[in-house]
């Protein structure tokens, strides 16, 4: 890699990592020169948002508990209007990818800075990428306007993360690193982060399944998710992420579970075209990385098929059509018959095979 040249762009963001780091939130707001925080959560995490409001006291102007999966445009518009009405000067997002996405959407519309407190392993908090859904389709854009200024990783939040969500959220993070290894603009820095991030998560996720309150495993998992998030935000993605956005946005499938199901199949499809990436993956996943990821999904109790997630079999041709629309880079050319077979196997829950 170094002999052929490369380009690496680092994205500026401040990271505070450890146990109990939420206590740093008031100081981090002060560093940004902000005094009026709008706190964002999903409906299920409103109580966590209220605890942040209590911590900030008069520096909180409101809690918006309306973040939902896939960041619908109408919710983004509503939340941005709320931020303007309350004269917020910073958004504080606590939660997973849905809440982080809403914070980014508000930042895009208002220019407000963001502080993110992740409670899952989604990794999107480290990226300048925003995906929003409208009319049944998810569209993504990359702009520094949506990159959070501060990310506070508090391992304590993950100690009670349900085992099933821990597993799928962690494999979702692994997907970022896997595709980063064979991205068109990959580079030695990202390769190091990707391999280290995968290693940490592969070590941590089975341990969490056995003992959800294993503090060492929880720290490893969040550390790995941070590294994988940097990978996602630093280089382009390919077939796997395109398929997951297509399936999630079109059939309203859960984000992390869809990534968990599709990753082994997308990797198997691309494997013949990415020998260097496969060699690196074998160092952390063993002789057959695609099968290892498939087995990892089963080991953490993830859903076993797209059918189980609610995707109808009749949707397979539409998913293939959408995956082939708006051509994008992938190390292996996209072939209709092979993609149909890939999605069909994922739909039935069959193990991945080379495409």
The answer to the question of residue 209 being in a domain is yes
CATH number of residue 183's parent domain: 1.20.1090.10
The answer to whether 268 and 290 have CB atoms below 8 angstroms apart is: yes
Same domain, 242 and 268: yes
Same domain, 272 and 300: yes
Same domain, 326 and 249: yes
The answer to the question of residue 202 being in a domain is yes
Render pLDDT for 298-344 as a digit per residue (tens, 0 to 9): 999 999 999 999 999 999 999 999 999 877 899 999 999 999 999 99
Q: For residue 186, what are its two tokens? A: 């990959």
pLDDT averaged over the chain?
94
**What's residue 2's pLDDT?**
52
Q: At what angle do helices 188-210 and 289-299 cross, to 10 degrees?
A: 30
How deeply is 119 buried, as exposed, middle or buried, from its count of CB atoms within 10 A (0-12, 13-18, 19+)? buried
Same domain, 103 and 228: no
Same domain, 185 and 295: yes
Domain-ending residue, one of 131, 159, 187: 159
The answer to the question of residue 3 being in a domain is no
Render pLDDT for 86-123 as a digit per residue (tens, 0 to 9): 999 999 999 998 999 999 999 999 999 999 999 999 88
Same domain, 67 and 168: no
**What's residue 273's pLDDT?**
97
Helix locations, 20-144, DSSP H: 25-31, 46-56, 73-85, 97-110
CA separation for the pair 107, 321 (Å, rounded): 33
CA separation for the pair 62, 67 (Å, rounded): 14
Give residue for tokens 């495409």: 355
Q: What's CA 168's distance to the chain center, in Å?
A: 10
Q: For residue 48, what are its two tokens? A: 């966590």
Number of structural domains in the chain: 2
pLDDT at 1 over 80: no
Which of 335, 129, 349, 138 shows the shortest CA–CA distance to 247?
138
Q: Most distant CA pair in the chain: distance in Å? A: 59
- Binning pLDDT at 50, 70 and 90, where does residue 3 land? low
What letter does residue 308 receive in the DSSP assignment? Answer: H
The answer to the question of residue 155 being in a domain is yes
Same domain, 203 and 328: yes
Enclosing domain of residue 174: 162-348
pLDDT at 148 over 90: yes
Same domain, 241 and 299: yes
Q: For residue 156, what are its two tokens? A: 């304590």
**What's residue 318's pLDDT?**
95
């Amino acid at each position: 890699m170094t002999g052929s040249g490369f380009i690496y762009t680092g994205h500026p963001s401040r990271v505070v990592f450890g146990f109990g780091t939420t206590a740093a939130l008031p100081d981090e707001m002060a560093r940004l020169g902000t005094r009026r925080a709008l706190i964002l959560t999903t409906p299920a995490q409103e109580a966590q948002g209220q605890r942040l409001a209590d911590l900030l006291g008069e520096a909180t102007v409101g809690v918006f508990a309306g973040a939902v999966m896939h960041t619908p445009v109408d919710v983004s518009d509503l939340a941005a209007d709320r931020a303007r009405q309350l004269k917020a000067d910073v958004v504080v997002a606590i939660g997973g990818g849905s809440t982080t996405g809403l914070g980014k959407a508000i930042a895009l519309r208002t220019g407000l800075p963001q502080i993110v407190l992740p409670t899952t392993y989604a990794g999107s908090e480290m990226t300048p990428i925003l995906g929003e859904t409208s009319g049944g389709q998810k569209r993504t854009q990359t702009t520094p306007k949506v990159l959070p200024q501060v990310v506070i990783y508090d391992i304590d939040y993950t100690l009670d993360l349900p085992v099933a969500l821990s597993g799928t959220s962690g494999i979702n993070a692994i997907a970022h690193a896997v595709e980063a290894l064979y991205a068109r603009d990959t580079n030695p820095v990202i390769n190091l982060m990707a391999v280290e991030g995968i290693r940490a998560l592969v070590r941590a996720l089975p341990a969490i399944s056995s003992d959800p309150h294993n503090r060492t495993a929880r720290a490893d998992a969040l550390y790995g998710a941070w590294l994988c998030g940097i990978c996602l935000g630093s280089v382009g993605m390919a077939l796997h992420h395109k398929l997951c956005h297509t399936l999630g946005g079109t059939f309203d499938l859960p984000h992390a579970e869809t990534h968990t199901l599709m990753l082994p199949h997308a990797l198997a499809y691309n494997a013949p075209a990415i020998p260097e990436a496969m060699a690196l993956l074998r160092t952390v996943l063993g002789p057959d990385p695609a099968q290892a990821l498939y087995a990892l999904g089963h080991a953490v109790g993830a859903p076993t098929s797209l059918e189980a997630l609610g995707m109808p079999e009749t949707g397979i041709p539409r998913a293939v059509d959408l995956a082939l629309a708006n051509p994008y880079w992938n190390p292996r050319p996209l072939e209709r018959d092979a993609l149909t077979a890939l999605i069909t196997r994922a739909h039935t829950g069959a193990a991945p095979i080379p495409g």
